[in-house]
Amino acid sequence: MHEDICFADATELARLIREGEVSPVEVVKAHLERISAINAKLNAVVTIAVDALELAKQAERAIAKGSATGPLHGVPFTCKDAFDVAGIRTTRGSKLFEHRIAERDATTVARLKHAGGIFLGKTNIPEFALWWETDNSVFGRTNNPWNPERTAGGSSGGEAAAIAAGLSPLGIGSDVGGSLRMPAHYCGIVGFKPTHGRVPLTGHWPETLLRAQHVGPMARTVRDVALALRLLSGPDGVDHHCLPLEPPAIPASAAKPLKLRVGWLADGAFAPVDREVQAVVRKAADSLRSAGCTVEHTALPVLEEHPASTVSGPVWALEAGYYWEPFIRGRESELFPFMRKRLATPWPDVRDYLKGLATWEAIRHGMTAWFHEYDLLLCPTVCVPAYAHQLREITVDGVTMPTRQKLNTLIPWNFTGSPAISVPFGLSSEGLPIGVQLVGRHFDEATVLRAALALEEVSEVRGKHPPLS
């Protein structure tokens, strides 16, 4: 019964609780016991909310009184350790903040609580949430639940591993350069980066690169991220990036035929891409065609001319370095080795920085023009399945490249601010998940979700879970 509970999605758990088939206490207990049994192998959950069980009892009493509070009443959720949760240790993955206790909830955390969700705990991140491997000096490394010798990605790697392994049904991640979608791909879950300005960033740290930063939901099903997105959306009066828009329309189903125009690309601007990843993207293109879409192979010349991972380097380095300098001054020796090395690198020349900003704008213009012709882009989430921990280089299709280059499939949509979702759609020959990515027009999350639902319906990995016991 516990495994049935732990691998039910949040939407199903909410229904079971609402109809009295399970209680909030049963659900929270099942997840806490799962964490106790499995987490040591993964190091995904790093801080448990000590009041979770008491809150579950309160939720149970509310049901008895007929006063359930919202669509997630009694359903547990987690968030990465970059979000503030009142009264909870929030380390930001760093020795510099090892004993920090947050004073108030991040807006997104508060919204899930207001919807009846029960906060279960914090998940691991790399230091300052700015690396593609989840490891730090406070809690150590997070392992991929499909193969502990492989990376879970970053910076939302702990969140993705926890959800994939049944430690949590629903989570909040963030994404400044793939930090939400990359771990979702590696761990075989759904990760949704909504349009920039859709979900408030308030209470998420670091407060830098905000025009590229996104906060969004992570879960095992598309319907869960759709539900969470509606709950998380809308201005909070604090984050000036968040626009006063109505919550996105959430489709109940794919509603085929989709009648969308989809451009797909498995290599080209994103090359080199692993052959198995390419095959999964092609299969997804065929599936969308079968669902009623007009699907065409496309090209993205602006990204061929301006590889996003190269463009982001000087901008990220200068802006983040300037922001972090007051926090780290005199405490450099306490930084995680990777971050210490990264922040010791000389800042880029102002011309390189300005060139990066100009190229950023060129990518935005180029992709805006592309979306005049298409409703959606289908492409790889990441060019490879999960690889071994701590690699600085990877070999893809016979080409050896820096691991940073894999961000070429991810960072463009932080530059553009577009909604982008990773949906698990296949397995590699080594049994590792492979996701596909759908990118849409600004604030057209509904179209992205409709197509994602259609892919999920025919995904060969739908309902499959990591081989953990």
CA distance 91 to 124: 10
- What secondary structure letter does DSSP report for 167? S
Helices 222-232 and 107-114: angle between axes, nearest 10 degrees? 110
469 residues of the chain, pLDDT tens digit each: 477 999 999 999 999 999 999 999 999 999 999 999 999 999 999 999 999 999 999 999 999 998 888 999 999 999 999 999 999 999 999 999 999 999 999 999 999 999 999 999 999 999 999 899 999 999 999 999 999 999 999 999 999 999 999 999 999 999 999 999 999 999 999 999 999 999 999 999 999 999 999 999 999 999 999 999 999 999 999 999 999 998 888 787 777 789 999 999 999 999 999 999 999 999 999 999 999 999 999 999 999 999 888 888 899 889 988 999 999 999 999 999 988 887 888 889 999 999 999 999 999 999 999 999 999 999 999 999 999 999 999 999 899 999 989 999 999 999 999 999 999 999 999 999 999 999 999 999 999 999 999 999 999 999 999 998 5
Q: How far is CA 442 from CA 72, 172, 198, 220, 401, in A?
A: 27, 21, 10, 24, 32
Residues involved in catalysis = 80, 155, 179
Q: What is the pLDDT of residues 394-450, one digit of tens each?
A: 999 899 999 989 999 999 999 999 999 999 999 999 999 999 999 999 999 999 999
Number of domains in the chain: 1
CATH number at residue 7: 3.90.1300.10
User: What residues does 74 pair with on adjacent strands?
Assistant: none
The dihedrals phi and psi of 382, each to the nearest 5 degrees, come to -135, 155
Residue-wise burial string across 129-164, b where 16 or more C-beta atoms lie within 10 A, e elsewhere? bbbbbbbbbbbebbbbbbbbebbbbbbbbbbbbbbb
Residue 290 lies in a domain: yes
Tokens of 112: 């899930």
Residue 468 lies in a domain: no
Q: Give me the chain's average pLDDT, please.
A: 95
- Per-residue pLDDT at 341: 83
Residue 67 lies in a domain: yes
Q: How far is CA 358 from CA 163, 269, 347, 363, 368, in A?
A: 38, 19, 18, 9, 15
DSSP run (H or E) holding 434: strand 433-440
Q: What is the pLDDT of residues 317-370, one digit of tens each?
A: 899 889 999 999 999 999 999 888 878 888 899 999 999 999 999 999 999 999
DSSP readout, 171-218? Answer: EEEEESSSTTHHHHHHHT-EEEEPPTTSS--TTBS---STTT-EEEEE
The backbone region for 423, taken as left when phi is positive above 0, alpha when psi lies in -120 to 50, beta otherwise, is beta
Tokens of 184: 């979702």
Range of the domain at 313: 2-458
- Asked if residues 307 and 272 have their Cβ atoms less than 8 Å apart, the reply is no
Residue 464 lies in a domain: no
Residue-wise burial string across 214-224, b where 16 or more C-beta atoms lie within 10 A, e elsewhere? bbbbbbbbbbb
The dihedrals phi and psi of 146, each to the nearest 5 degrees, come to -80, -25
Residue 241 lies in a domain: yes
Tokens of 342: 């990264």
Residue 463 lies in a domain: no
Sheet (strand 170-175) strand order: 45-48, 118-123, 76-80, 170-175, 214-219, 190-193, 420-427, 433-440, 376-380, 261-264, 294-297
Q: How far is CA 37 from CA 5, 31, 47, 252, in A?
A: 15, 10, 15, 35
Query: Can you give the pTM of this predicted structure?
Result: 0.97
